[in-house]
Amino acid sequence: MTTSASLAVHLREVDRPALAAHFLALGGDDRRLRFGSPISDEAVQAYVERIDFRGDGIFAVHDDGTQIVAAVHVAFTGESAELGLSVLPGHRGLGLGAALFTRAVTHLRNRGAREVFVHCLAENGAMMHLARKHRMGIVHGGSEADARLAVDPPDAFTMYDEWTRDFLGASVQSFARYAAAWSQSPLRYSPSGK
């Protein structure tokens, strides 16, 4: 499994079905934590259909094949951007959430965002922990919480960092797709002839 979020892939339009499959793989409680309320399969599909892959930033970590095991989505609202994170249960606690958060913030820096915020349920221990760890300011409002972080201006390093990560992530994804296709190919050599 590709567990390094340095291999996070910048998702494009072609990845829409894989992103939908990722969200649909989240159980009921995880969907409630991710989207703020219980959400049906149809509502998940509708949410993914509305995502603007050109304007928003969506990054994902895949398993050895083409399944997305972790994703971050940042959507601009003026000079701010809202961030949403999700990691499939079997892949949590490995640092994917934190690494995708950092990747998304670099993306936002390079596009001139001034602030990133996460709107989540106050009961969400893992997300609140991640928010504090990234020095976000947290405002509680009943059962919900808003975590905010000022985004620094870009510099040469953030530009170079994003370029190299995009290149590396895209290269690894291309290789994984090629390997998956080849393993299914009738042209593949098999000593047993099967």
Ligand X SMILES: CC(C)(COP(=O)(O)OP(=O)(O)OC[C@H]1O[C@@H](n2cnc3c(N)ncnc32)[C@H](O)[C@@H]1OP(=O)(O)O)[C@@H](O)C(=O)NCCC(=O)NCCS
What order do you get walking across the sheet with 137-141 strand by strand? 9-10, 57-62, 68-77, 80-87, 115-121, 144-150, 137-141
Among 58-66, 87-95, 142-150, 186-194, which window interacts with ligand X (CB under 6 A)?
Answer: 87-95
- Per the CB < 8 A criterion, the answer to whether 100 and 130 are in contact is no
Residue 87 binds ligand X (CB under 6 A): yes
Residue 130 binds ligand X (CB under 6 A): yes
Using CB under 6 A, which of 93, 141, 142, 193 touches ligand X? 93
Using CB under 6 A, which of 9, 11, 69, 127 touches ligand X? 127
Residue 95 binds ligand X (CB under 6 A): yes
Q: How far apart are CA 12 and CA 16, in angstroms?
A: 7
Q: What is the CA radius of gyration of the chain?
A: 18
Using CB under 6 A, which of 34, 62, 107, 165 touches ligand X? 34
Tell me which long-range contacts 39-46 makes (C-beta under 8 A, separation of at least 24).
44/20, 45/20
CB of 27 to ligand X, least distance (A): 9
Site for ligand X in 134-193 (CB under 6 A): none
Residue 30 binds ligand X (CB under 6 A): yes
What is the DSSP-derived secondary structure letter of residue 153? P
**What number of chain residues touch ligand X (CB under 6 A)?**
23
CB of 8 to ligand X, least distance (A): 12
Provide the strand spans (E) within the chain.
Answer: 9-10, 57-62, 68-77, 80-87, 115-121, 137-141, 144-150
Using CB under 6 A, which of 15, 23, 84, 105 touches ligand X? 84
Among 12-20, 56-64, 84-92, 137-145, which window interacts with ligand X (CB under 6 A)?
Answer: 84-92
Using CB under 6 A, which of 20, 74, 120, 147 touches ligand X? 120
**H or E stretch at 126:** helix 125-133
